């Protein structure tokens, strides 16, 4: 049996941010010398002032010159630019993250358009695949099934202070690359980076957690460098009992935390959300986040078509976690616009690996069942038409909205797109699978095949399309447009739950954030402003619904702004022995 002593690494509980009489913030800490330089939270590197070097025993541990943050940024960007490819750039940035958090976040913020795809989608997926090969330093907590009797003790080993936000994964289904075992902690880390980068959530108050329940990836099981539990994934009762043990321990240690589920398998993802959403403040980005961003893009597309949502027929190609999450969001909107439940369900057609989802199928997933169409409907098709074939489904269903979450590259081919476009003046086509190599179609082809009539949003970043002398905006349905602002609002008002009303508030605010009427979603460069506005909208809705701990009479905008962390250096002062003993 393994021993689990209750101790952590560097003790950050002694750090305190104080405000001087003039209103200048400074940090007190009892760390000195190499310990201070090894703390990524506190390290300033060559930006420690001469006075700070004297006070904290840093003289001789750093080169003589004292630099500003701007001077450090120039060197860091030069070093970044020298990296050979996107993976090496990701590795460079992660090393900087482990060394100096302030410089890391400031560098990416200054170059957000360029670096967002490196730290997040799509390069994050490549980095996760190489996680064990490139491992240098752990970040976060690893809860492995063999250690299931010691989950409480493992969490107690976290000594960096209070936590506002946790991103939890078992990495069974990382979009585009599937089961990545313990390597998947990289997706939790990447999500937390985006929370800070876009919404200013304090990186010192967030925690990535990996639930290591084994892997069914044969490459990893045979890889001598693989760092996770080398065992097939556990399932069924023992899996769910372990997850419940983890959630109970998290609730005990961090009772007010906001927990995000990330990249769980489709059945477990839905089960966990349904099981825990009424007992803690929790959210699934793959289901709710993806659905909210797609819904925001669709709301703006509907403004351009002038056709009410209730008059549309929706075909979703890829009825997994993301596809069904999008369907749920659209269905709810249809009901709000006046359709009854069954009328709204009848507007949908879902396709998965087995083809069109119909009611006569055996063992249909419960979250797909409401969208299943009658098999008698396909009986009226032509004798040669196959409900497993996308083109035949498009020909018979005549969808006005086509959404792809299948990861089947090129599935929306010319014949599929032109067939759809022959039945509707402005087809709404969202190929949302990423990375680029898994997209159902390129926006350039869709615009060309529909002669500029289609309204397009994608899952991966694409450039705007030039066709016949006109520019067609291509918006990216990037979840980074929604979850950082949602988290900011939840943390700011200390929400007890994530309600459908809060998700609606975030969706509507995102839809209203576009400054170009032809663009379906705001651009990446607007992320910080958009996230702040979403945070305000979410906090206001939480207070209105009575699920916030914040007092109703407080100024919401001020509360949100006070929770935004800025990547700037502040002055350090030694923690006195009297303060340290408190």
Q: What ranges in 157-309 are assigned the alpha helix state H? A: 185-199, 218-222, 236-253, 266-276, 290-305
490 touches 473 (CB < 8 A)? no
CA 397 to chain centre: 33
Handedness of CA 393, 395, 396, 400 (dihedral sign): positive
Q: DSSP assignment, residue 256?
A: T
* 314/399 Cα distance (integer angstroms): 6
Cα separation of the two ends of the chain: 36
- For residue 468, the tally of other CB atoms under 10 A from its CB is 9
User: What tokens does 36 get?
Assistant: 């201070």
* 391/381 Cα distance (integer angstroms): 13
Taking Cα atoms as reference points, which of 319, 312, 344 lies closest to residue 331? 344
Give exposure, 382-408, as e/b (b: 16+ Cβ within 10 Å).
Answer: eeeeebeebebbbbbbebbbbbbbbbb
Backbone angles phi, psi at 8, to 5 degrees: -120, -165
526: three-class secondary structure by DSSP = helix
| Residue among 89, 97, 131, 191 flagged as catalytic | 191
* 408/149 Cα distance (integer angstroms): 41
* 379/261 Cα distance (integer angstroms): 40
Taking Cα atoms as reference points, which of 7, 8, 46, 12 lies closest to residue 575? 12
Active site residue 191: yes
E strand or H helix at 467: strand 465-467
Active site residue 120: yes
CA distances 391 to 311, 322, 357, 385, 397, Å, are 22, 22, 15, 9, 10
Longest dimension (CA), the chain: 85
User: What tokens does 563 get?
Assistant: 């929770």
| Residue among 44, 80, 89, 120 flagged as catalytic | 120
Taking Cα atoms as reference points, which of 340, 338, 339, 313 lies closest to residue 327? 313
Q: Which residues face 28 on adjacent strands?
A: 16, 573
* 9/135 Cα distance (integer angstroms): 19
* 261/246 Cα distance (integer angstroms): 13
Burial class (CB within 10 angstroms; exposed 0-12, middle 13-18, buried 19+) of 156: middle
User: What tokens does 494 get?
Assistant: 């200390």
Ordered strands of the 16-19 beta sheet: 16-19, 25-29, 571-574
Give the active site residues. 120, 191
């Amino acid at each position: 049996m393994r021993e689990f002593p209750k101790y952590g690494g560097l003790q950050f509980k002694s750090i305190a941010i104080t405000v001087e009489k003039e209103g200048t913030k400074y940090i007190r800490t009892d760390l000195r010398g190499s310990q201070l330089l090894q703390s990524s939270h506190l390290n300033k590197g060559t930006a420690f002032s001469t006075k700070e070097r004297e006070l904290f025993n840093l003289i001789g541990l750093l080169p003589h010159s004292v630099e500003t943050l701007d001077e450090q940024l120039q060197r860091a960007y030069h070093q970044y630019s020298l990296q050979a490819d996107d993976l090496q750039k990701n590795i460079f940035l992660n090393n900087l993250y482990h060394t100096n958090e302030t410089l890391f976040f400031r560098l990416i913020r200054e170059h957000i358009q360029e670096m967002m795809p490196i730290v997040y989608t799509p390069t994050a997926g490549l980095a996760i695949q190489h996680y064990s090969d490139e491992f240098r330093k752990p970040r976060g907590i690893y809860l492995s099934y063999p250690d299931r009797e010691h989950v409480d003790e493992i969490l107690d080993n976290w000594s960096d202070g209070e936590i506002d936000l946790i991103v939890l994964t078992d990495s069974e289904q990382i979009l585009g690359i599937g089961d990545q075992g313990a390597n998947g902690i990289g997706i939790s880390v990447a999500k937390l980076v985006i929370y800070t980068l876009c919404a200013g959530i304090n990186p010192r108050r967030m925690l990535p957690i990996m639930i290591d329940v084994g892997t069914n990836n044969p490459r990893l099981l045979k890889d001598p460098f693989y760092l996770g539990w080398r065992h097939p994934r556990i399932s069924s009762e023992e899996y769910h009992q372990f997850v419940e043990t983890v959630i109970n321990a998290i609730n005990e240690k961090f009772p007010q935390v906001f927990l995000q589920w990330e990249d769980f398998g489709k059945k477990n993802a839905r089960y966990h959300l349904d099981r825990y959403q009424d007992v803690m403040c929790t959210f699934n980005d793959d289901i709710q986040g993806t659905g909210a961003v797609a819904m925001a893009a669709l709301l703006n597309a509907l403004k351009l078509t002038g056709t009410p949502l209730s008059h549309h027929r929706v075909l979703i190609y890829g009825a997994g976690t993301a596809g069904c999450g999008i369907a749920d969001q659209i269905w709810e909107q249809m009901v709000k616009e006046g359709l009854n439940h069954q009328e709204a369900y009848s507007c949908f057609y879902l396709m998965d690996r087995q083809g069109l989802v119909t009611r006569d199928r055996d063992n249909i997933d419960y979250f797909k069942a409401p969208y299943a169409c009658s098999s008698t409907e396909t009986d009226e098709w032509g004798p040669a038409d196959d409900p497993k074939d996308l083109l035949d489904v498009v020909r018979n269903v005549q969808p006005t909205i086509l959404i792809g979450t299948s990861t089947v590259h090129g599935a929306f081919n010319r014949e599929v797109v032109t067939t759809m476009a022959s039945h509707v003046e402005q087809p709404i086509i969202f190929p949302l699978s990423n990375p680029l190599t898994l997209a159902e179609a390129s926006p350039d082809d869709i615009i060309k095949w529909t002669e500029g009539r289609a309204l397009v949003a994608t899952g991966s970043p694409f450039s705007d399309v030039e066709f016949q002398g006109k520019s067609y905006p291509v918006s990216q349905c990037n979840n980074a447009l929604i979850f950082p602002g949602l988290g900011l609002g939840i943390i700011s008002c200390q929400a007890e739950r994530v309600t459908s009303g809060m998700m609606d508030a975030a969706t509507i605010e995102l839809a209203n954030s576009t400054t170009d009427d032809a663009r379906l979603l705001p651009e990446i460069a607007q992320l910080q402003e958009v996230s702040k506005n979403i945070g305000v909208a979410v906090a206001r809705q939480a207070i209105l619904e009575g699920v916030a701990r914040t007092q109703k009479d407080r100024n919401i905008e001020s509360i949100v702004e006070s929770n935004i962390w800025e990547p700037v250096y502040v002055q350090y002062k030694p923690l006195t022995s009297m303060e340290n003993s408190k």
